[in-house]
Structure 1
């Protein structure tokens, strides 16, 4: 079984904007299915496209995940024809202290939101947070991409 072990954090905007970073990749993703137990997502990331199935885990750190690269034309067509809703963002991969942080700078209806994720080998794995990483939001479901697709950041009141 494929398992994703991931923790999610907010990012200090000022520190992030001052950071020297590599070029990001623009992501467009949409959800074919999204309910309390599972998500089926299609993603177009630069010249690549993926179909991903995710399950809900016993906690918000670990969950089942299966991801398959598909032809870019299929990804574009699936987004246009089957995705009910979606998100757009630019993803930056930042190496730091033996890990790679994936930082998503959202655009469109989620403009203004920046989230950093770190994938781990096990739930209790120790890691060092960069100075630009702030509050952990792993357990806050509103920060999941599938939630942002239907409840965008621009509509949040707090």
Structure 2
């Protein structure tokens, strides 16, 4: 079992774009998503698929299990998706020794840009990039499972 320890932030400017190290097109959907647990399939760049099971309350730390699955199986299971199929481009951006994953959403969630920082470190505000806005860690409306079920949060 792995622990996922992450912080989430709304992104307030495009200043990160000049520092992108890599990007991937992601299509993900949920087979089940209820409080405290979700079963997600993610297809990356149309070439690989991973099943992820997450357990725990929304917050900074959750239990996470990931398993590669055949791409064809994942594509067939999309028909059983709960809510929206999320489309986004994930950009890897380095800042002060940390890698931020900046997700630019498309489709029904177009306009939403969220950065995630996966680290057990307590990164102080002064060391965070200037292009980060409000921290939304623990705000369930900004978790992908909630976005799939409910769409854009009203105060995004």
* Bin of the TM-score, shorter chain as denominator length: 0.7 to 0.9
* SS of match in other structure, 2:20: coil
Q: CA separation in 1, counterparts of 2:102 and 2:24? A: 11
Report if aligned partners of 2:82, 2:149 keep a CA contact under 8 Å in 1.
Answer: no
Report if aligned partners of 2:40, 2:52 keep a CA contact under 8 Å in 1.
Answer: yes
Single out whichever of 110-119 and 62-71 deviates more from structure 2. 62-71
Q: What's the CA shift for 1:126?
A: 2.7
Q: What's the CA shift for 1:136?
A: 0.4
Pairwise mapping of residues 71-150 of structure 1 onto structure 2 (< 5 A)? 71-79=70-78, 81-85=79-83, 86-120=85-119, 122=120, 124-126=121-123, 128-150=127-149
Q: CA separation in 2, counterparts of 1:96 and 1:70? A: 32
- Structure 1 unaligned residues grouped into runs of 5+: none
Q: CA separation in 1, counterparts of 2:108 and 2:13? A: 18
Instruction: Please name the residue that 1:29 is paired with.
Output: 28
Task: Name the TM-score, length of structure 1 as normaliser.
Answer: 0.87
Report if aligned partners of 1:13, 1:114 keep a CA contact under 8 Å in 2.
Answer: no
Report if aligned partners of 1:109, 1:152 keep a CA contact under 8 Å in 2.
Answer: yes
Q: What's the CA shift for 1:83?
A: 1.5
Is 1:4 matched with 2:1? no
Single out whichever of 140-149 and 69-78 deviates more from structure 2. 69-78
**What is the CA deviation profile of residues 105-145 of structure 1, one whole-angstrom value per residue up to 9, with x for unaligned ones?**
0011110000000001x2x5336211211110002111000
- The count of aligned residue pairs is 152
Task: Name the TM-score, length of structure 2 as normaliser.
Answer: 0.88
**What CA RMSD, in Å, does the superposition of the two structures yield over aligned residues?**
1.9
Q: What's the CA shift for 1:24?
A: 2.3
- Structure 1 pair 146–61 and aligned structure 2 pair: CA distance change class (3 A): same
Instruction: Please name the residue that 1:151 is paired with.
Output: 150
The 4+ residue runs of structure 1 with deviation greater than 6 A are: none
Q: What's the CA shift for 1:20?
A: 4.3
